[in-house]
Homo-oligomer: A and B are copies of this chain.
Amino acid sequence: MKRKSTAPTMKDVALEAGVALGTVSKVINGVPVGDSYRRKVEEAIKKLNYQVNSYAQGLKAHRTNTVAFLVPNTTNPYFATLTHYVNLSLMKRNYRMLLCCTDFNPALEQDYVSMVHKNQVDGIIGMTYNPDLIVDENTPFVSIDRCLSPQIPCISSDNFAGGQLAAEKLADLGCTHVAFMRIGSSLTNEPNKRKAGFENGCLMRGLTFESLLLDDGTPLEAFTDFLREHVRNGRMEFDGIFCGTDYYAVQVRNSLAELGFSVPGDVQLIGFDGVRMFPDSPLLCSTIVQPVEDIAQLCVDFVLQEGMATKPPLICLPVRYEAGGTTREETDS
C-alpha cells in the first residue's frame, strides 16, 4: 500500500520539455547546455514543480548532504545551544542535520554511529562518552570535547586556560583559599583539564586550594556534605569556589545558602559554560564562557573538509570570563 508515486521524476520533466533525460540532468547540475534547451527544461521543471530525489542522488553520488549530530540530549542548555549553532552552520552550507540524542548511553552512541554509517551520512559530529567507540574510517568524524584518536579532530574550548583564568579571577577578587568542585566522568576528556588549569592557576597566584572530584552518579547532596565539613567556627573555609560547570555552580550556591552562607558575600563562585535561560537572560553565575558558536562553526568546517591531508588532532578555542553576580567585581561594590 505504498502511496502512489505522484512526484514528478526527471523523466517526466524530459517528456514535458521534449528533450532527453540527460539534458535535464545537466540543466539541474549546472552543466553547460544549449540556451533554448535550458529554457524549455526550466519551464518544465517549474510547471511540474519538480524536485530532485535526493535519495536517488545519494545512491548514485555517495553523498547525501546530511551530517549526523550526536549529543546526549537537548534539554541541557549547553547542549541545546550547541545543537542550535551546529544546525545553523550546517544549514549555511546547505547541509541537513540528523539529530541523534544518545542520553549518555554508550550502547546507543555506538548504535547511532553504526546506523549513521548505513544511512550514508556525509559526516558525523559527535559529543560522545563511550570510551570504546568504534567509528568508521570512511566517514569524516569530528569530536567535541573528547579526543578519540589522532586521526579524529577534536574541537574544544581551551579548558585548561579556562580553569587557570578562573583561578586568576578569584585571586584578583581577593580570594586566598579556594576549592574546585565537580561531579565528573572518569573518562578522559577535555573538560577534565579545567581542574588542572585551575590548580595551576592557584599555584601561580599563591592560592591554597582543595579539589573535590566526585564520581559520576554521585547525588548533588555530596556538595553540601563537603562544604559542611569545611566550616570552622561558623565560617566557611573557602572564600572562592570554581565549579566544573554552571550547573554545579548553581547547586553549590544552593548548598551554601542551605548552610547559611551568602554568595558572593561569604564565598565567591565561578562556573563554566556561560549558559542562560533565555538569550537575553542574565548568566546563572560568574563564569568562564565557552565560544559555542565558534565551536559549532569549526566542527562543521572540519567535517565537511574533503581532502585535508593532515587533520589537526585537537583544537582549543579561547574562552573568556564574564561576571554574573556570584563574584564581587569592582563595579559591584
Given A6-B138, A59-B59, A117-B51, A101–B77 Cβ distance below 8 Å? no
A281 interface contact, C-beta 8 A: yes
Q: List CB contacts (< 8 Å) of A36-83 with chain B.
A: 51-56, 58-59, 61-64, 66, 69, 73-77, 80-81, 83
Q: List CB contacts (< 8 Å) of A218-239 with chain B.
A: 220
Question: Contact at A96–B98, with CB atoms within 8 Å?
Answer: yes
Residue in B53, B99, B101, B247 whose CB lies within 8 Å of A120: B53
A305 interface contact, C-beta 8 A: no
Q: Contact size class for A?
A: 35 or more
- Name the segment of A84-92, A156-164, A173-181 touching the other chain: A84-92
Question: Contact at A138–B7, with CB atoms within 8 Å?
Answer: yes
Question: Contact at B64–A75, with CB atoms within 8 Å?
Answer: no
A307 interface contact, C-beta 8 A: yes
A309 interface contact, C-beta 8 A: no
Chain B nearest CB, measured from A125 CB (Å): 12
Q: Hey, which chain B residues are within 8 Å of A6, CB to CB?
A: 138
Q: Hey, which chain B residues are within 8 Å of A53, CB to CB?
A: 59, 118, 120
Q: Hey, which chain B residues are within 8 Å of A277, CB to CB?
A: 77, 250, 275, 277, 284
Complex alpha-carbon distance, A6 and B138, angstroms: 8
Q: List CB contacts (< 8 Å) of A99-139 with chain B.
A: 99-101, 114-115, 117-120, 138
> CB-nearest residue of chain B relative to A81?
B75
Complex alpha-carbon distance, A122 and B118, angstroms: 18
Chain B nearest CB, measured from A20 CB (Å): 22
Given A73-B84, A87-B74, A51–B114 Cβ distance below 8 Å? yes
Q: Hey, which chain B residues are within 8 Å of A98, CB to CB?
A: 66, 96-99
Given A61-B2, A277-B250, A101–B96 Cβ distance below 8 Å? no
* 25 contacts across the A-B interface (CB closer than 8 A): A2-B61, A3-B138, A6-B138, A7-B117, A7-B138, A51-B114, A51-B118, A53-B118, A55-B55, A55-B58, A55-B119, A59-B59, A73-B84, A74-B83, A74-B84, A74-B87, A75-B80, A77-B77, A77-B278, A83-B83, A87-B99, A96-B100, A247-B278, A250-B281, A277-B277
A interface list, Cβ under 8 A from B: 1-3, 5-7, 51-56, 58-59, 61-64, 66, 69, 73-77, 80-81, 83-84, 87-88, 91, 96-101, 114-115, 117-120, 138, 220, 247, 250, 275, 277-281, 284, 306-307
- Additional pairs, 10, CB under 8 Å, beyond known A3-B62, A87-B101, A96-B100: A1-B307, A52-B118, A53-B118, A59-B59, A74-B83, A74-B84, A75-B81, A77-B80, A84-B101, A91-B101
